[in-house]
Amino acid sequence: MEQRIALVSAFPPGQKSLNEYGLHLAKGLADRSDVDEVVVLADVLDQPAPELDLGPKVRVDRVWRFNDPFSALRINNALIKHKVTAALWNLQTATFGDREIPAALGHFAPPLARALGFQSGVIAHNIIAGIDLEKTQLRGQKMRQAIVRLGASLACRAMLAANYTTVTLQGYYEHIRETYPDADIHLVPHGTFDAACSDLCALAERPKRIVTMGKFGTYKRLDTLLEAFDILRSDPQYQDYELIIGGTDHPSTPGYMANLKAQREGDSGVLFHGYVAEEDVAAFFSTARLSVFDYTATTGSSGVLHQAASYGVVPVFPRIGDFVDLCRDEGLEGEHYEASNAASLAEAMRRVLEDLPSAQRYADANVQVAKGMPFSDVIDFHARRLLVHAEEAVANPA
């Protein structure tokens, strides 16, 4: 029996959330001898661009659009067309849109696929129960928050109707076990893409550089970081540091980055790098001393935090939500500050930079943690689950 797995995910060269994670899923599945082909059912690109060459075992079909209420139907039509064995869904709450209706409807694709006879596994990177909506762009909008929570509850139930679902944080796992005791739910940590990286430069040998990366404008922002960076540079010993900002606007806040860039025109110490392509990630982090997270809320296990850890750059993040859970569950370490407090952030950065030997111990410990969470473990879990389910379905047809 030919094993053809569909991967439903945002996918490069698109720049939607989780596209890099989707890329690593596709590569990892294709590397397995028990998988004959990976069909990536991806998001339609905003601008035409050549597809990545990932070898003969990976095929990309762009069949769904962000904020399209019919994405679930388009995806399931593609599952039928490609005659797949099973489907792996790489999802977060806003995968299919930043408007409530299309975002919620998209999450009904996995149970629809199961109803059509396709074996399905869902990677749920976050759930609304773990997000403080008052600290997002919905601040003060009580009615809309209630609608979002209702839609998210329905979407969560829909995802749990797949053959199985995984979450990346212990808190999410415990919430689902308590709320939906019959769910086939598993805790599978985020994993580290580059756990085997070696020959990293010591922090003291790296450029005097601070980095940040993300999709900015909502709960991930830059205002506090930029103010804190100015405070830090007011100390003569840190005047020659530079801040590299990698990333783009969040889809719901167009123009946010352009506005900040215009305000910083003429400041040679602040560079707006733009989107950081997969091939540039290693150089982006491994040439920095600090990676700062200017967040007011959290929405799941941070992929950027795992990348920072694997390249030995010290993370500086607020002591809130999923950052706390992630450090507790996985053993990652970093320097903390009070969210939205520029003085607190500047002091946290200064504490790291003035004591690089201690910072190096943080960095080395995080690299070791990263090596203990190879992405191959994530791939192995899902491949085994999907293929076993598929074989059981063939042996015991409904």
Residues 244 and 157 in one domain: no
Number of domains in the chain: 2
Tell me, what's the pLDDT at 168?
Answer: 85
What does the pLDDT read at residue 47? 87
Q: What confidence tens digit (pLDDT) does each residue in 288-300 have?
A: 999 999 988 766 5
Angle (CA) 357-371-339 rounded to 5° is 60
Do the domain assignments include residue 386?
Answer: yes
Are residues 291 and 169 part of one domain?
no
One domain for residues 46 and 153: yes
Tracing tokens 């002591």 back to the chain, one arrives at 319
Asked if 51 and 96 sit in the same domain, the reply is yes
Residue 187 shares a structural domain with residue 207: no
Give pLDDT, residue 244. 97
Q: What per-residue confidence (pLDDT) applies to 1?
A: 63
How long is the chain?
A: 398
pTM: 0.80
Are residues 269 and 155 located together in one domain of the fold?
Answer: no
Per-10-residue mean pLDDT, the chain, length 398: 92 89 96 96 92 95 96 97 96 86 90 94 79 57 65 77 90 88 90 70 96 89 96 96 93 90 93 89 94 81 81 90 74 89 97 94 90 90 85 56
216-226 tens-digit pLDDT: 988 889 999 99
The CATH number that applies at residue 177 is: 3.40.50.2000
| Residue 23 located in a structural domain | yes
Question: In this structure, are 186 and 98 located in the same domain?
Answer: yes
Query: Does 367 share its domain with 222?
Result: yes
33 and 162 share a domain? yes
* pLDDT given for residue 34 in this prediction: 94
pLDDT of residue 394: 53
Within a domain: residue 93? Answer: yes
Same domain as 222, residue 173? no
251/216 Cα distance (integer angstroms):
9
Question: For residue 393, what pLDDT is reported?
Answer: 57
Range of the domain at 148: 4-191+374-395
The angle at the Cα of 41, spanning 39 to 46, to the nearest 5 degrees, equals: 135
Looking at the fold, whether 209 and 299 belong to one and the same domain comes out as yes
